[in-house]
Amino acid sequence: MNRQMKRAQERAERQQKKAGVERQAAPAAGTRRAAQREKRERTSARQFLKEVRQELRKVDWPTRQELVTYTLVVLVTVAVMTSLVFGLDLVFQKAIFNVIG
């Protein structure tokens, strides 16, 4: 099991534990209204950007070599698929013109 799989499994376990705790401690009606009011409040732009930065630090960014490799794979795949569609279009065009004309 690699590092990413371990992290994903740990995250899932934490969420399950958290969900279990939330189910056990159901809030009272007055507390629910307060929680709903709190959810409606908007966060400030500064807080939002701070949280975005924190999340982006957690991202496992590709290395430069991986990025170049993935880009080349995408470009080659697009070129092959474009050629395939062009070729099929040409074949069907000729076939239709032979049938009509």
pLDDT digits (tens, 9 = 90+) for 18-65: 877 656 555 556 677 766 666 677 889 999 999 999 999 999 999 999
- pTM for this structure? 0.47
Q: From CA 88, how far away is CA 85, in angstroms rounded?
A: 5
Whole-number average pLDDT of the chain: 86
Q: From CA 56, how far away is CA 13, in angstroms rounded?
A: 22
More confident residue, 66 or 23: 66
Contacts of 90 (CB under 8 A, 6+ apart): none
Residue found under tokens 């799989």: 5
What pLDDT is stored for residue 46 in this prediction?
Answer: 94
Handedness of CA 54, 3, 5, 19 (dihedral sign): negative
pLDDT at 70 over 90: yes
Number of Cβ within a 10 Å radius of residue 29:
6
